[in-house]
Amino acid sequence: MASVLTQAPPAADDAPKAKSREAAITSVLHPQESAAPLTDGFHLVIDALKLNDLNTIFGLVGIPITDLARLAQGEGMRFIGFRHEQHAGNAAAIAGYMTQKPGICMTVSAPGFLNGLTALANATTNCFPMILISGSSEREIVDLQQGDYEEMDQLNAAKPYAKAAYRVLHAEDIGIGVARAIRAAVSGRPGGVYLDLPAKLLAQTMDAARGKQSLVKVVDAVPRQIPAADSVRRALDLLKSAKRPLILLGKGAAYAQADAEIRALVEKTGIPYLPMSMAKGLLPDTHEQSAGAARSFVLAEADVVMLIGARLNWLLSHGKGKTWGGPKQFIQLDIAPTEIDSNVAIAAPVIGDIGSSVSALLAGIGSGFPKPSAEWTGAIAERKDKNLKKMAVTLAQNPSPMNFHSALRAIRDVLKTRPDINVVNEGANTLDYCRSIVDMYEPRKRFDSGTWGIMGIGMGYAIGAAVVSGKPVVAIEGDSAFGFSGMELETICRYELPVCTIVFNNNGVYRGTDVNLSGGKDVAPTVFVKGARYDKMIEAFGGIGYNATTPEELTKALLESIASGKPSLINAVIDEAAGTESGRLTNLNPQSAAKK
């Protein structure tokens, strides 16, 4: 939200170090007009970020962020301006996940901060390193609740939803503040950090030489955490004793960028593995040890499960219940000891960073390490073959209009030829079907709703992924999910990003066939405008629009879009009766549960 952040006059005791913003900038840009070179809060923030190799800011301008953005751009930084702060925050978060460096989101105060806070909370929940930097009202007015413009105690509002939160009050502390935010965001379990910059801070001036000395280059922000030798032995002993072992890879394993070590562990042990959705591609989904096509079977039948960068949260039924069959013994590799025993007892915790922990396990596996029995691997192969054949029959069908399966088949076949493309995916049915149909072949190429299971991440993630990687992005969106961030099509076009958005349009949330139970003229709560042409939206901003009603048209449009490298949108017309209530989450829907 582009808002104005007013600046109160400096207090008398601040007069020696606080000038007007214009005077401060003049003193830096034209030092010959000053008795001694000065710098200001604006430039110290920029210099602190650049010193730590953080050269991209995602945000939305408004006073005083406008000047900060202009100056940052002038200093060689890249500023990606959004239409809504939440999506800027999502872009910063996915940039952090991809690079292991905190993504930077910058907003103005109060409403702008609150919009960014949603993305910050999502980053913290998903363990993505991100820093939300917001301007704020002056402390003396906020603390006395005297009614400042956009008055809000932003620091305390952020604390419950961030890994850490800091406020900087003096220009000489900007370097330390940025350093602390960086270290908090990336060390240990990554997460979102809030950095509060009151308006008066940015206009403060100080001697340029002292300002440079006050900056901090963060050293070893992510120190290795070596697991204890006895914990590694315990884990290996339990793994050796397993009759039906399973490795479960979470997005934490993908974030760790220990790709070679993880692959070596899987292949050296011969243990079947199951990737969570954002861990897909750590090993190709077509790998012979992948149990993705037999997910329900292996979760229920395994007796020892080794979790690598995965948490036993709702996505894994909390490690108990019918999903898991009988009792299990768990080995858990995690950097946070507080995660252990969070839902069920963990028999063999291995606490350390993923790379060090996997390497330690590899070092302890000798030539005599027992491979899983042929009975276990054979049973998985049989179940996989059965399920894949069943899915192949479904995917071979060509109904008119398209359904989710026939449309995703077309997308799958195109993306198979371009494993380097980033895939963003959200929606209810669109997400559920896509993650089981579209295979991934490289790590950190699939980005979706993640741990919170929220919608609205689509365009922010797509922009962040395109900016960071320089590679094309295909965003596969349900029409409802797309609606949360659709205006960012203009941002994609403005920066000429190679993003192709595919909207699965079935005229509503879940489906477009619901009716108003009262018989009134208003449409049902889940129904959208019939026959909407989302492709026309991107054409309005100068992008390329396609309307696809068959798999052949969808294939042609997607191939053309990728080849062009230009912003594009494909309106994929899906049977409005296709889709199920809440996707596969009917157990979380009280109405659906009541019908059972």
CATH code at 284? 3.40.50.1220
Whether residue 312 contacts residue 318, with contact meaning beta carbons closer than 8 Å, is answered with yes
Whether residue 100 contacts residue 186, with contact meaning beta carbons closer than 8 Å, is answered with yes
Q: Of 214, 244, 266, which residue is a domain's last? A: 214
Beta-bridge partners for 197: 135
Q: How would residue 592 be classed by pLDDT, with cut points 50, 70 and 90?
A: low
Q: How would residue 461 be classed by pLDDT, with cut points 50, 70 and 90?
A: very high
Question: Is residue 454 a part of any domain in this protein?
Answer: yes
Q: How would residue 593 be classed by pLDDT, with cut points 50, 70 and 90?
A: low
**What local confidence, expressed as pLDDT, does residue 581 receive?**
81
**What local confidence, expressed as pLDDT, does residue 146 receive?**
84
Instruction: Please name the residue that has the structure tokens 């405008």.
Output: 529
**What local confidence, expressed as pLDDT, does residue 10 receive?**
41
| Distance between CA atoms of residues 111 and 551, nearest Å | 43
For 474, phi and psi rounded to 5 degrees?
A: -115, 115
Asked whether residue 555 falls in the same domain as residue 417, the answer is yes
Q: How would residue 22 be classed by pLDDT, with cut points 50, 70 and 90?
A: very low
Instruction: Please name the residue that has the structure tokens 């690598």.
Output: 308
pLDDT higher than threshold 90 for residue 538: yes
Q: How would residue 142 be classed by pLDDT, with cut points 50, 70 and 90?
A: confident
Asked whether residue 67 falls in the same domain as residue 154, the answer is yes
Asked whether residue 210 falls in the same domain as residue 242, the answer is no
Per the omega criterion (within 30 degrees of 0), is the bond before 567 cis?
A: no
**What local confidence, expressed as pLDDT, does residue 63 receive?**
78
Instruction: Please name the residue that has the structure tokens 């997005």.
Output: 251
CA quadruple 488, 489, 494, 496: dihedral sign: positive
Give Cα 138 distance to the centre of its chain. Answer: 32
Q: Of 164, 185, 214, which residue is a domain's last? A: 214
Q: Which residues lie below 8 Å from residue 80, measured CB to CB, with a gap of 6+?
A: 56, 57, 58, 59, 88, 91, 463, 467, 491, 495
Residue range(s) defining the domain that contains residue 276: 229-381
- For 266-277, the pLDDT digits (tens) are 999 999 999 999
| Distance between CA atoms of residues 307 and 159, nearest Å | 29
Q: Of 381, 410, 437, which residue is a domain's last? A: 381
Question: Is residue 174 a part of any domain in this protein?
Answer: yes
- For 27-68, the pLDDT digits (tens) are 444 545 557 899 999 999 999 999 999 999 999 999 778 999
Q: How many domains does the chain have?
A: 3
Three-state DSSP class for 129?
coil
Asked whether residue 402 falls in the same domain as residue 256, the answer is no
**What local confidence, expressed as pLDDT, does residue 3 receive?**
35
Q: Indicate which CATH number applies to the domain containing 462.
A: 3.40.50.970
Number of Cβ within 10 Å of residue 15's Cβ equals 10
Asked whether residue 210 falls in the same domain as residue 70, the answer is yes
**What local confidence, expressed as pLDDT, does residue 20 receive?**
45
Question: Is residue 81 a part of any domain in this protein?
Answer: yes
By the 10 Å C-beta count (0-12 exposed, 13-18 middle, 19+ buried), 137 is classed as buried
pLDDT higher than threshold 50 for residue 458: yes
176: left (phi over 0), alpha (psi -120 to 50) or beta: alpha
For 402, phi and psi rounded to 5 degrees?
A: -60, 155
Average pLDDT of the chain, as a whole number: 92
Q: How would residue 341 be classed by pLDDT, with cut points 50, 70 and 90?
A: very high
Asked whether residue 451 falls in the same domain as residue 556, the answer is yes
Asked whether residue 443 falls in the same domain as residue 550, the answer is yes
**What local confidence, expressed as pLDDT, does residue 35 receive?**
73
DSSP-derived secondary structure for 145-191: T---TT---HHHHHGGGSSEEEE--SGGGHHHHHHHHHHHHHSSS--
Instruction: Please name the residue that has the structure tokens 């371009």.
Output: 418
Asked whether residue 192 falls in the same domain as residue 119, the answer is yes
Q: Which of 279, 278, 272, 314 is nearest to 293 (CA)?
A: 272
Question: Is residue 4 a part of any domain in this protein?
Answer: no
Number of Cβ within 10 Å of residue 421's Cβ equals 20
**What local confidence, expressed as pLDDT, does residue 141 receive?**
86
Asked whether residue 474 falls in the same domain as residue 432, the answer is yes
Question: Is residue 219 a part of any domain in this protein?
Answer: no
| Distance between CA atoms of residues 115 and 484, nearest Å | 13
Q: How would residue 19 be classed by pLDDT, with cut points 50, 70 and 90?
A: very low
DSSP-derived secondary structure for 17-39: TB--HHHHHHHHH-GGGSSS-EE
Question: Is residue 135 a part of any domain in this protein?
Answer: yes
Question: Is residue 266 a part of any domain in this protein?
Answer: yes
Asked whether residue 233 falls in the same domain as residue 286, the answer is yes
For 199, phi and psi rounded to 5 degrees?
A: -55, -40
Whether residue 538 contacts residue 545, with contact meaning beta carbons closer than 8 Å, is answered with yes
Mean pLDDT of 188-209: 96
| Distance between CA atoms of residues 238 and 305, nearest Å | 10
- For 368-388, the pLDDT digits (tens) are 899 999 999 999 999 999 999
- For 208-250, the pLDDT digits (tens) are 999 999 999 999 999 999 999 999 999 999 999 999 999 999 9
pLDDT higher than threshold 70 for residue 119: yes
Mean pLDDT of 295-312: 97
Asked whether residue 513 falls in the same domain as residue 368, the answer is no
**What local confidence, expressed as pLDDT, does residue 366 receive?**
83
pLDDT higher than threshold 90 for residue 313: yes
Which stretch of DSSP H or E encloses residue 103? strand 103-107
Among 51-55, 203-207, 213-217, 326-330, the minimum mean pLDDT is found in: 326-330
**What local confidence, expressed as pLDDT, does residue 194 receive?**
98
Beta-bridge partners for 167: 196
- Please give the DSSP secondary-structure letter assigned to residue 488: G
By the 10 Å C-beta count (0-12 exposed, 13-18 middle, 19+ buried), 394 is classed as middle
**What local confidence, expressed as pLDDT, does residue 15 receive?**
40
Asked whether residue 187 falls in the same domain as residue 243, the answer is no
pLDDT higher than threshold 50 for residue 160: yes
Question: Is residue 296 a part of any domain in this protein?
Answer: yes
pLDDT higher than threshold 90 for residue 144: no
